[in-house]
Structure 1
Protein backbone atom coordinates (compact mmCIF):
# COMPACT_ATOMS: atom_id res chain seq x y z
CA UNK A 1 0.00 0.00 0.00
CA UNK A 2 1.35 3.40 -0.93
CA UNK A 3 1.74 6.26 1.55
CA UNK A 4 -0.77 8.37 -0.42
CA UNK A 5 -3.46 5.70 -0.07
CA UNK A 6 -2.89 5.49 3.70
CA UNK A 7 -3.17 9.28 4.08
CA UNK A 8 -6.42 9.35 2.09
CA UNK A 9 -7.93 6.63 4.30
CA UNK A 10 -6.97 8.52 7.50
CA UNK A 11 -8.47 11.76 6.14
CA UNK A 12 -11.69 9.93 5.21
CA UNK A 13 -11.91 8.39 8.65
CA UNK A 14 -11.43 11.82 10.29
CA UNK A 15 -14.21 13.33 8.18
CA UNK A 16 -16.56 10.48 9.13
CA UNK A 17 -15.83 10.93 12.83
CA UNK A 18 -16.22 14.71 12.57
CA UNK A 19 -19.56 14.46 10.79
CA UNK A 20 -20.78 11.90 13.31
CA UNK A 21 -19.75 14.14 16.18
CA UNK A 22 -21.50 17.22 14.79
CA UNK A 23 -24.61 15.17 14.04
CA UNK A 24 -24.68 13.86 17.58
CA UNK A 25 -24.32 17.37 19.01
CA UNK A 26 -27.18 18.62 16.83
CA UNK A 27 -29.33 15.74 17.99
CA UNK A 28 -28.62 16.49 21.59
CA UNK A 29 -28.95 20.26 21.03
CA UNK A 30 -25.58 20.95 22.59
CA UNK A 31 -23.83 22.56 19.62
CA UNK A 32 -21.95 25.60 20.96
CA UNK A 33 -23.27 28.96 19.84
CA UNK A 34 -20.71 31.43 18.50
CA UNK A 35 -21.34 34.99 19.66
CA UNK A 36 -19.57 38.21 18.71
CA UNK A 37 -17.09 39.49 21.28
CA UNK A 38 -18.20 42.81 22.73
CA UNK A 39 -15.44 45.08 24.10
CA UNK A 40 -16.74 47.64 26.55
CA UNK A 41 -14.69 50.49 25.16
CA UNK A 42 -16.58 53.21 26.99
CA UNK A 43 -16.05 51.56 30.37
CA UNK A 44 -12.33 51.12 29.72
CA UNK A 45 -11.97 54.77 28.77
CA UNK A 46 -13.89 55.79 31.86
CA UNK A 47 -11.43 53.92 34.04
CA UNK A 48 -8.44 55.52 32.31
CA UNK A 49 -9.78 59.07 32.56
CA UNK A 50 -11.39 59.03 35.99
CA UNK A 51 -10.26 61.94 38.20
CA UNK A 52 -7.32 60.64 40.19
CA UNK A 53 -5.19 63.78 40.35
CA UNK A 54 -4.65 65.86 43.48
CA UNK A 55 -3.76 69.51 43.96
CA UNK A 56 -2.05 70.77 47.09
CA UNK A 57 -2.21 74.49 47.93
CA UNK A 58 0.43 75.57 50.45
CA UNK A 59 1.41 78.70 52.38
CA UNK A 60 4.87 79.67 53.63
CA UNK A 61 5.40 82.75 55.82
CA UNK A 62 8.72 84.42 56.67
CA UNK A 63 10.29 87.78 57.34
CA UNK A 64 12.13 89.69 54.63
CA UNK A 65 15.31 87.76 55.49
CA UNK A 66 13.57 84.46 54.60
CA UNK A 67 13.39 83.27 58.21
CA UNK A 68 10.32 81.01 58.20
CA UNK A 69 7.72 81.06 60.99
CA UNK A 70 4.02 80.52 61.53
CA UNK A 71 3.48 84.29 61.36
CA UNK A 72 1.93 84.47 64.82
CA UNK A 73 3.35 87.95 65.44
CA UNK A 74 1.92 89.37 62.21
CA UNK A 75 -1.80 89.29 61.49
CA UNK A 76 -2.57 88.18 57.96
CA UNK A 77 -5.41 86.62 55.99
CA UNK A 78 -4.51 85.25 52.56
CA UNK A 79 -6.96 84.07 49.91
CA UNK A 80 -6.23 82.48 46.54
CA UNK A 81 -9.19 82.30 44.18
CA UNK A 82 -10.30 81.98 40.58
CA UNK A 83 -9.10 84.67 38.17
CA UNK A 84 -11.53 87.44 37.35
CA UNK A 85 -9.94 88.39 34.02
CA UNK A 86 -10.57 86.65 30.69
CA UNK A 87 -8.23 83.74 29.97
CA UNK A 88 -6.84 83.36 26.47
CA UNK A 89 -5.82 79.76 25.91
CA UNK A 90 -6.52 76.97 23.43
CA UNK A 91 -7.37 73.97 25.56
CA UNK A 92 -9.99 71.27 25.92
CA UNK A 93 -10.27 71.84 29.65
CA UNK A 94 -9.92 74.87 31.93
CA UNK A 95 -10.77 75.05 35.61
CA UNK A 96 -10.01 77.21 38.62
CA UNK A 97 -7.97 76.50 41.70
CA UNK A 98 -10.48 76.08 44.56
CA UNK A 99 -10.79 79.17 46.72
CA UNK A 100 -8.34 78.61 49.56
CA UNK A 101 -7.68 80.79 52.61
CA UNK A 102 -4.96 80.84 55.25
CA UNK A 103 -4.80 82.87 58.45
CA UNK A 104 -1.83 83.51 60.71
CA UNK A 105 -0.71 81.87 62.84
CA UNK A 106 -0.42 79.05 60.34
CA UNK A 107 -0.89 75.42 61.30
CA UNK A 108 2.40 74.08 59.97
CA UNK A 109 1.72 70.55 58.75
CA UNK A 110 4.11 69.99 55.83
CA UNK A 111 7.86 69.96 55.26
CA UNK A 112 8.47 71.67 51.91
CA UNK A 113 11.91 73.19 52.44
CA UNK A 114 15.12 71.30 53.05
CA UNK A 115 13.61 67.83 53.50
CA UNK A 116 14.71 68.04 57.14
CA UNK A 117 11.56 66.72 58.76
CA UNK A 118 10.61 70.15 60.11
CA UNK A 119 7.20 71.42 59.05
CA UNK A 120 7.56 74.84 57.45
CA UNK A 121 4.28 75.23 55.54
CA UNK A 122 0.56 74.79 55.90
CA UNK A 123 -0.99 72.80 53.05
CA UNK A 124 -4.55 71.98 52.03
CA UNK A 125 -5.00 69.07 49.61
CA UNK A 126 -7.81 68.67 47.06
CA UNK A 127 -7.99 65.00 46.07
CA UNK A 128 -9.73 63.15 43.23
CA UNK A 129 -10.02 66.18 40.98
CA UNK A 130 -10.26 66.13 37.20
CA UNK A 131 -7.30 66.61 34.91
CA UNK A 132 -7.43 70.21 33.74
CA UNK A 133 -5.62 73.52 33.41
CA UNK A 134 -6.16 75.08 36.85
CA UNK A 135 -5.95 78.88 36.83
CA UNK A 136 -5.79 81.26 39.77
CA UNK A 137 -5.79 85.01 40.27
CA UNK A 138 -3.45 87.15 42.34
CA UNK A 139 -3.66 86.42 46.03
CA UNK A 140 -5.69 88.78 48.20
CA UNK A 141 -3.84 89.79 51.36
CA UNK A 142 -5.41 91.40 54.44
CA UNK A 143 -3.00 92.85 56.96
CA UNK A 144 -0.22 95.40 57.06
CA UNK A 145 3.50 95.22 56.29
CA UNK A 146 3.18 92.28 53.91
CA UNK A 147 5.40 92.29 50.84
CA UNK A 148 4.26 91.16 47.38
CA UNK A 149 3.45 87.43 47.36
CA UNK A 150 5.72 84.98 45.55
CA UNK A 151 4.35 81.98 43.64
CA UNK A 152 5.53 78.56 42.53
CA UNK A 153 3.77 75.49 41.15
CA UNK A 154 5.70 72.22 41.04
CA UNK A 155 5.17 68.48 40.86
CA UNK A 156 4.72 66.99 44.30
CA UNK A 157 8.04 65.63 45.44
CA UNK A 158 10.03 68.12 43.39
CA UNK A 159 12.64 70.07 45.34
CA UNK A 160 11.45 73.51 46.42
CA UNK A 161 13.96 76.29 47.00
CA UNK A 162 13.66 80.00 47.64
CA UNK A 163 15.21 80.89 44.29
CA UNK A 164 12.42 79.21 42.30
CA UNK A 165 9.74 81.62 43.52
CA UNK A 166 8.73 84.73 41.58
CA UNK A 167 6.03 87.38 41.51
CA UNK A 168 2.76 86.85 39.69
CA UNK A 169 2.68 87.24 35.90
CA UNK A 170 -0.47 87.66 33.83
CA UNK A 171 0.53 86.22 30.46
CA UNK A 172 -2.62 84.12 30.20
CA UNK A 173 -4.84 87.18 30.49
CA UNK A 174 -3.49 89.04 27.45
CA UNK A 175 -4.76 88.34 23.95
CA UNK A 176 -1.30 87.52 22.61
CA UNK A 177 0.03 84.01 23.24
CA UNK A 178 3.71 84.87 22.98
CA UNK A 179 3.96 85.59 26.72
CA UNK A 180 1.97 82.60 27.97
CA UNK A 181 4.85 80.42 29.08
CA UNK A 182 7.40 83.09 29.90
CA UNK A 183 7.37 82.29 33.61
CA UNK A 184 5.86 78.87 33.97
CA UNK A 185 5.02 78.19 37.58
CA UNK A 186 4.31 81.81 38.44
CA UNK A 187 1.80 82.81 35.79
CA UNK A 188 -1.54 81.88 37.30
CA UNK A 189 -1.64 78.31 35.98
CA UNK A 190 -1.20 74.87 37.48
CA UNK A 191 -0.98 72.65 34.39
CA UNK A 192 -2.60 69.33 35.25
CA UNK A 193 -4.01 68.52 31.81
CA UNK A 194 -2.40 65.58 29.95
CA UNK A 195 -2.12 66.49 26.28
CA UNK A 196 -0.32 63.21 25.55
CA UNK A 197 -1.12 59.92 27.27
CA UNK A 198 2.56 59.30 27.99
CA UNK A 199 2.67 62.59 29.93
CA UNK A 200 -0.06 61.59 32.37
CA UNK A 201 2.17 60.41 35.23
CA UNK A 202 4.09 63.70 35.08
CA UNK A 203 0.91 65.75 35.40
CA UNK A 204 -0.44 64.09 38.54
CA UNK A 205 -0.30 65.55 42.03
CA UNK A 206 0.97 69.10 41.82
CA UNK A 207 1.61 71.72 44.48
CA UNK A 208 0.91 75.45 44.37
CA UNK A 209 2.95 77.35 46.96
CA UNK A 210 2.48 81.02 47.84
CA UNK A 211 5.24 82.56 49.95
CA UNK A 212 4.40 85.67 51.96
CA UNK A 213 7.04 87.80 53.66
CA UNK A 214 6.36 90.40 56.32
CA UNK A 215 8.48 93.50 56.74
CA UNK A 216 10.05 93.92 60.16
CA UNK A 217 12.13 97.01 59.40
CA UNK A 218 10.77 100.27 58.05
CA UNK A 219 12.17 101.10 54.61
CA UNK A 220 14.52 104.08 54.46
CA UNK A 221 12.82 107.39 53.80
CA UNK A 222 14.30 109.49 51.03
CA UNK A 223 15.05 112.97 52.39
CA UNK A 224 16.78 115.92 50.82
CA UNK A 225 20.36 116.25 52.14
CA UNK A 226 21.00 119.10 54.58
CA UNK A 227 24.14 121.27 54.27
CA UNK A 228 25.75 122.77 57.35
CA UNK A 229 28.39 125.50 56.92
CA UNK A 230 31.20 125.45 59.44
CA UNK A 231 32.82 128.76 60.47
CA UNK A 232 31.82 132.25 59.49
CA UNK A 233 30.79 133.19 56.02
CA UNK A 234 33.44 135.57 54.60
CA UNK A 235 31.06 136.98 52.05
Structure 2
Protein backbone atom coordinates (compact mmCIF):
# COMPACT_ATOMS: atom_id res chain seq x y z
CA UNK A 1 0.00 0.00 0.00
CA UNK A 2 1.34 3.48 -0.84
CA UNK A 3 1.87 6.05 1.87
CA UNK A 4 -0.73 8.27 0.16
CA UNK A 5 -2.76 8.06 -3.03
CA UNK A 6 -4.58 10.84 -4.82
CA UNK A 7 -6.95 10.86 -7.77
CA UNK A 8 -7.02 13.68 -10.33
CA UNK A 9 -9.58 16.20 -11.48
CA UNK A 10 -9.06 15.74 -15.22
CA UNK A 11 -11.87 17.99 -16.41
CA UNK A 12 -9.53 20.63 -17.87
CA UNK A 13 -7.27 17.97 -19.41
CA UNK A 14 -10.28 16.21 -20.94
CA UNK A 15 -11.50 19.49 -22.47
CA UNK A 16 -8.09 19.92 -24.06
CA UNK A 17 -8.22 16.39 -25.48
CA UNK A 18 -11.69 16.96 -26.91
CA UNK A 19 -10.42 20.12 -28.62
CA UNK A 20 -8.18 17.78 -30.61
CA UNK A 21 -11.13 15.37 -31.19
CA UNK A 22 -9.79 12.79 -28.72
CA UNK A 23 -12.34 10.97 -26.54
CA UNK A 24 -10.67 10.72 -23.07
CA UNK A 25 -12.41 7.40 -22.43
CA UNK A 26 -11.05 5.82 -25.61
CA UNK A 27 -7.38 6.84 -25.57
CA UNK A 28 -6.18 3.23 -25.67
CA UNK A 29 -7.96 2.73 -29.01
CA UNK A 30 -5.54 5.15 -30.65
CA UNK A 31 -2.32 4.05 -32.31
CA UNK A 32 0.58 3.68 -29.87
CA UNK A 33 3.80 5.59 -30.41
CA UNK A 34 7.35 5.54 -29.07
CA UNK A 35 7.75 8.93 -27.33
CA UNK A 36 11.25 9.26 -28.82
CA UNK A 37 9.66 9.51 -32.27
CA UNK A 38 7.81 12.70 -31.34
CA UNK A 39 9.46 15.86 -32.67
CA UNK A 40 10.88 17.71 -29.62
CA UNK A 41 9.40 20.92 -31.04
CA UNK A 42 5.91 19.44 -30.85
CA UNK A 43 5.78 18.50 -27.16
CA UNK A 44 4.47 21.87 -26.00
CA UNK A 45 0.72 22.14 -26.48
CA UNK A 46 -0.31 24.81 -28.99
CA UNK A 47 -3.97 25.52 -29.82
CA UNK A 48 -4.45 27.91 -32.75
CA UNK A 49 -8.23 27.60 -33.21
CA UNK A 50 -10.53 25.44 -35.34
CA UNK A 51 -9.20 22.38 -33.51
CA UNK A 52 -5.77 22.93 -35.02
CA UNK A 53 -2.48 22.75 -33.17
CA UNK A 54 -0.11 20.19 -31.74
CA UNK A 55 1.42 18.90 -28.51
CA UNK A 56 1.57 16.10 -25.97
CA UNK A 57 -1.17 16.04 -23.33
CA UNK A 58 -0.66 14.12 -20.11
CA UNK A 59 -3.74 12.58 -18.54
CA UNK A 60 -3.01 10.93 -15.18
CA UNK A 61 -4.95 8.18 -13.47
CA UNK A 62 -3.39 8.33 -10.00
CA UNK A 63 -0.62 10.05 -8.09
CA UNK A 64 0.80 7.96 -5.26
CA UNK A 65 3.55 8.50 -2.69
CA UNK A 66 5.91 5.88 -1.34
CA UNK A 67 9.50 5.54 -0.15
CA UNK A 68 12.11 5.22 -2.85
CA UNK A 69 15.20 3.04 -2.80
CA UNK A 70 17.61 3.69 0.10
CA UNK A 71 20.44 6.01 -0.92
CA UNK A 72 23.67 6.74 0.92
CA UNK A 73 24.46 10.34 1.80
CA UNK A 74 28.20 10.67 1.48
CA UNK A 75 30.72 7.91 2.23
CA UNK A 76 30.54 5.03 4.68
CA UNK A 77 33.24 5.15 7.38
CA UNK A 78 34.93 1.98 8.72
CA UNK A 79 36.76 2.11 12.05
CA UNK A 80 39.67 -0.32 11.73
CA UNK A 81 41.14 0.51 15.17
CA UNK A 82 40.67 -1.00 18.63
CA UNK A 83 39.18 2.25 19.97
CA UNK A 84 36.06 4.33 19.25
CA UNK A 85 36.56 7.23 16.85
CA UNK A 86 34.47 10.35 16.32
CA UNK A 87 33.68 11.24 12.74
CA UNK A 88 31.27 13.45 10.84
CA UNK A 89 29.39 11.34 8.32
CA UNK A 90 27.06 12.52 5.60
CA UNK A 91 27.03 14.38 2.31
CA UNK A 92 24.58 15.15 -0.44
CA UNK A 93 22.78 13.32 -3.20
CA UNK A 94 20.61 14.61 -6.04
CA UNK A 95 17.69 12.39 -7.04
CA UNK A 96 15.93 13.11 -10.29
CA UNK A 97 12.96 12.02 -12.38
CA UNK A 98 12.62 8.43 -13.54
CA UNK A 99 10.26 7.04 -16.16
CA UNK A 100 9.00 3.55 -16.88
CA UNK A 101 9.46 4.26 -20.60
CA UNK A 102 12.58 5.17 -22.53
CA UNK A 103 13.12 8.89 -22.92
CA UNK A 104 16.00 10.62 -24.69
CA UNK A 105 17.72 13.73 -23.38
CA UNK A 106 16.37 15.69 -26.35
CA UNK A 107 12.78 15.27 -25.17
CA UNK A 108 13.33 15.49 -21.41
CA UNK A 109 12.47 19.20 -21.33
CA UNK A 110 9.22 18.55 -23.16
CA UNK A 111 8.29 15.70 -20.83
CA UNK A 112 8.99 17.82 -17.74
CA UNK A 113 6.83 20.62 -19.12
CA UNK A 114 4.00 18.14 -19.71
CA UNK A 115 4.36 16.82 -16.15
CA UNK A 116 4.25 20.36 -14.75
CA UNK A 117 1.06 21.12 -16.66
CA UNK A 118 -0.62 17.79 -15.92
CA UNK A 119 0.13 17.71 -12.18
CA UNK A 120 -0.65 21.40 -11.65
CA UNK A 121 -3.92 21.13 -13.57
CA UNK A 122 -5.11 17.80 -12.16
CA UNK A 123 -3.82 17.95 -8.57
CA UNK A 124 -3.12 21.61 -7.87
CA UNK A 125 0.55 20.85 -7.15
CA UNK A 126 3.78 21.64 -8.96
CA UNK A 127 6.10 18.97 -10.32
CA UNK A 128 9.74 18.92 -9.20
CA UNK A 129 12.16 17.29 -11.62
CA UNK A 130 14.89 16.71 -9.03
CA UNK A 131 15.81 17.38 -5.42
CA UNK A 132 19.17 17.60 -3.65
CA UNK A 133 19.28 16.02 -0.20
CA UNK A 134 22.03 17.12 2.20
CA UNK A 135 22.74 16.16 5.80
CA UNK A 136 25.65 15.43 8.15
CA UNK A 137 26.06 14.22 11.71
CA UNK A 138 28.92 13.77 14.15
CA UNK A 139 28.84 10.29 15.67
CA UNK A 140 31.03 7.86 17.58
CA UNK A 141 31.95 4.76 15.58
CA UNK A 142 32.83 1.69 17.71
CA UNK A 143 35.92 -0.33 16.81
CA UNK A 144 35.30 -2.80 14.01
CA UNK A 145 32.12 -1.04 12.86
CA UNK A 146 31.13 0.82 9.72
CA UNK A 147 28.64 3.70 9.78
CA UNK A 148 26.92 5.82 7.15
CA UNK A 149 23.89 8.03 6.62
CA UNK A 150 21.08 6.48 4.62
CA UNK A 151 18.26 8.41 2.96
CA UNK A 152 14.83 6.99 2.24
CA UNK A 153 13.23 9.68 0.09
CA UNK A 154 9.50 9.98 -0.45
CA UNK A 155 8.85 9.58 -4.16
CA UNK A 156 5.64 10.45 -5.93
CA UNK A 157 4.59 8.43 -8.93
CA UNK A 158 2.15 9.57 -11.57
CA UNK A 159 0.55 6.84 -13.66
CA UNK A 160 -1.07 7.99 -16.84
CA UNK A 161 -1.54 8.25 -20.56
CA UNK A 162 0.24 10.72 -22.83
CA UNK A 163 -1.48 11.70 -26.07
CA UNK A 164 0.43 13.15 -29.00
CA UNK A 165 -1.76 15.27 -31.27
CA UNK A 166 -1.11 17.28 -34.44
CA UNK A 167 -4.02 18.74 -36.39
CA UNK A 168 -3.79 21.11 -39.34
CA UNK A 169 -5.43 21.34 -42.78
CA UNK A 170 -3.42 18.34 -44.07
CA UNK A 171 -2.88 16.10 -41.04
CA UNK A 172 -4.72 14.65 -38.06
CA UNK A 173 -2.29 12.77 -35.81
CA UNK A 174 -3.61 11.21 -32.59
CA UNK A 175 -1.30 8.70 -30.92
CA UNK A 176 -0.55 7.73 -27.34
CA UNK A 177 1.91 6.08 -24.98
CA UNK A 178 1.55 5.10 -21.34
CA UNK A 179 3.81 4.91 -18.36
CA UNK A 180 4.81 6.05 -14.90
CA UNK A 181 6.87 9.10 -14.03
CA UNK A 182 8.49 9.22 -10.58
CA UNK A 183 10.36 12.01 -8.79
CA UNK A 184 10.97 13.21 -5.22
CA UNK A 185 7.99 14.94 -3.68
CA UNK A 186 6.19 15.49 -0.39
CA UNK A 187 2.65 16.29 0.60
CA UNK A 188 0.89 16.84 3.91
CA UNK A 189 2.64 15.15 6.83
CA UNK A 190 4.84 12.90 4.68
CA UNK A 191 8.57 13.23 5.36
CA UNK A 192 11.81 11.87 3.99
CA UNK A 193 13.70 9.63 6.42
CA UNK A 194 17.43 9.89 7.16
CA UNK A 195 18.94 7.20 9.34
CA UNK A 196 22.29 6.36 10.86
CA UNK A 197 23.20 2.86 9.72
CA UNK A 198 25.78 0.87 11.66
CA UNK A 199 27.14 -2.62 11.00
CA UNK A 200 29.76 -4.74 12.69
CA UNK A 201 32.35 -5.82 10.14
CA UNK A 202 33.21 -9.52 10.05
CA UNK A 203 36.74 -10.72 9.30
CA UNK A 204 35.64 -11.69 5.80
CA UNK A 205 34.09 -8.28 5.17
CA UNK A 206 37.12 -6.57 6.71
CA UNK A 207 39.42 -8.18 4.16
CA UNK A 208 37.06 -7.14 1.38
CA UNK A 209 36.83 -3.54 2.66
CA UNK A 210 40.60 -3.13 2.96
CA UNK A 211 41.21 -4.62 -0.47
CA UNK A 212 38.52 -2.38 -2.00
CA UNK A 213 39.99 0.66 -0.28
CA UNK A 214 43.40 -0.07 -1.81
CA UNK A 215 41.91 -0.12 -5.31
CA UNK A 216 39.20 2.54 -5.05
CA UNK A 217 40.31 6.03 -6.13
CA UNK A 218 37.47 7.52 -4.06
CA UNK A 219 38.52 5.81 -0.81
CA UNK A 220 40.14 7.79 2.01
CA UNK A 221 42.54 6.48 4.67
CA UNK A 222 42.66 8.67 7.77
CA UNK A 223 45.36 8.97 10.42
CA UNK A 224 42.83 7.98 13.10
CA UNK A 225 42.37 4.56 11.50
CA UNK A 226 39.21 5.19 9.49
CA UNK A 227 38.61 4.05 5.93
CA UNK A 228 35.98 5.90 3.92
CA UNK A 229 34.31 4.12 1.02
CA UNK A 230 31.33 5.08 -1.17
CA UNK A 231 28.19 4.10 0.73
CA UNK A 232 26.73 2.64 -2.46
CA UNK A 233 29.50 0.01 -2.40
CA UNK A 234 28.69 -1.29 1.05
CA UNK A 235 24.94 -0.81 1.47
CA UNK A 236 23.89 -4.01 -0.28
CA UNK A 237 26.71 -5.97 1.32
CA UNK A 238 25.90 -4.88 4.88
CA UNK A 239 22.18 -4.14 4.67
CA UNK A 240 20.97 -7.27 6.49
CA UNK A 241 23.62 -6.87 9.21
CA UNK A 242 23.06 -3.16 9.91
CA UNK A 243 21.03 -1.48 12.64
CA UNK A 244 19.21 1.81 12.07
CA UNK A 245 18.60 4.90 14.17
CA UNK A 246 16.68 7.95 12.96
CA UNK A 247 18.91 11.00 12.73
CA UNK A 248 16.30 13.05 14.59
CA UNK A 249 16.57 10.68 17.56
CA UNK A 250 20.36 10.83 17.57
CA UNK A 251 20.30 14.63 17.56
CA UNK A 252 17.79 14.64 20.43
CA UNK A 253 20.08 12.61 22.68
TM exceeding 0.5: no
Larger radius of gyration: 1
Question: TM-score, normalising length from structure 1?
Answer: 0.23
Question: TM-score, normalising length from structure 2?
Answer: 0.22
Query: Which of the two has greater helix per residue?
Result: 2
